Amino acid sequence: MTAFWAIVHDTWRQSKHQWVMLLLIGAVALIVPSSIIFPEVRTAPDGSEFLGTVFQKDTAQTGMEAGWEGLYADALRDELGYDDEISKKSDELNKLLDQHQDVDYEVKRLQATEPGSPDLKALIEKRRELEQERDRRQHDLFNLRQYVRDEVNRITAERTADTSKMQKGVEYWLSSMATFLFQITLFIYLFVCAGFVPEMIRAGSIDLVLSKPIRRWHIYYGKYVGGLLLYAVTLLAAYIVMFVGVGLRTGIWHWKFFGGLPMTLFSAALLFSIIAWVGLWTRSTLMSAILGLVYYVIVDTAIGYLGDLGGAPFIADIPAVKEIAEVTKFIFPSFVWLRESAEAAVLSVYVFPWKHLIVGVVWLVICLGTSYNRFRINDY
């Protein structure tokens, strides 16, 4: 294992010469102090304390606790799975509305062209039954949505009965910082790790490494673990400094802040495995960066959009789009849903996107397994 850790160390040494690694550290160094300096403890007229920002007016009476309410409610709905139930009933209602529209059209056509048709009476009766069923399902859906709102409010009140405005503000701020770190650091990290594998297998570099009695799995996975540890150490340092800084400023030590780390690190491991796979097959740092960027920014954004069609009802009504949205959940991992899980964990709400997580694990294993196998059998 000494050779393995030597490769890990070499990866760290290699990263010192990458300007994108310096950019990653610089971005973190900018975000962390800002996350500590910008929030400010304020006092409301009733004497209660809340968390605002240095940019708010001195007369402000509310702070980040207002944003916490909506964020917590959304996360709680995801945890309890209510949105899935509402979506299912909405789909059933939409199918019924389509059926009613077809029957209504046929009734009106016959009334205009064939008023004596023997089928007209039966169609009118069927339309009446469909209208009754439509009204019943619309009423049921309305009641379900009302129930969900009441249930989310009830559970929120139970779980956070002793949570102060200051605590809510701190949770909202730290969850926002966890999300921001997820997005910014992973975006820069894909450029950092794009060069690790292509540089390793470059003529001259790989010859020198293979001339030593080192097993190939030590070389390949040592490079992967080294690059991942580099990101993990940078992220962990950022989390610790932010936790301590915000804690000292507010007096609130929110340990659940570290709940955002696991999903963020898993996302980095998954992204690196994909980019390493591309780098091994193309032997190009540029292609690794471009394809990694295309997937993370374009493809993943589309997957996240398809996974939340509730915000686009007209598109959601298109059967083909709905089928594509359902299929993508089982084919492509989504960093959007992994990010939302990390954000929810900071709020002490446990959203587990098991479909995307399982697909992500499968992609991770396939990318690492197939890329290592090619590295093992190639004659460099």
Summarize pLDDT for 324-344 with one digit per residue, the tens: 766 777 788 888 889 989 999
Out of 121, 144, 162, pick the residue that ends a domain. 162
Residues 214 and 332 in one domain: yes
Q: Are residues 332 and 357 in the same domain?
A: yes
3-state secondary structure of 72: helix
Shared domain check, 335 and 236: yes
Helix (H, G, I), strand (E, B) or coil at 41: strand
Structure-token match 């709940």, residue found = 259
Same domain (yes/no): 171, 156? no
If asked whether residues 127 and 169 sit together in one domain, one would say no
Do both 69 and 139 map to the same domain? no
Q: Which among 132, 162, 192 is the end of a domain?
A: 162
Tell me: do 310 and 181 sit in the same domain.
yes
How confident is the model at residue 142, as a pLDDT? 92
List the domain range (segments joined by +) for residue 123: 84-162
What pLDDT was estimated at residue 306? 62
CA distance 223 to 375: 12
Domain count for the chain: 2
Single residue among 111, 131, 162 that ends a domain in this structure: 162
Q: Helix axis angle, 261-282 relative to 285-293, nearest 10°?
A: 130
- Same domain for 149 and 297? no
186 shares a domain with 132: no
Question: Which parts of the chain sit beneath pLDDT 50?
Answer: 310-314
Question: Are residues 154 and 75 both part of a single domain?
Answer: no
What CA–CA distance (Å, rounded) separates 127 from 78?
37
Residue 183 sits in the same domain as residue 131: no
Nearest CA to 276 out of 219, 349, 327 is that of 219
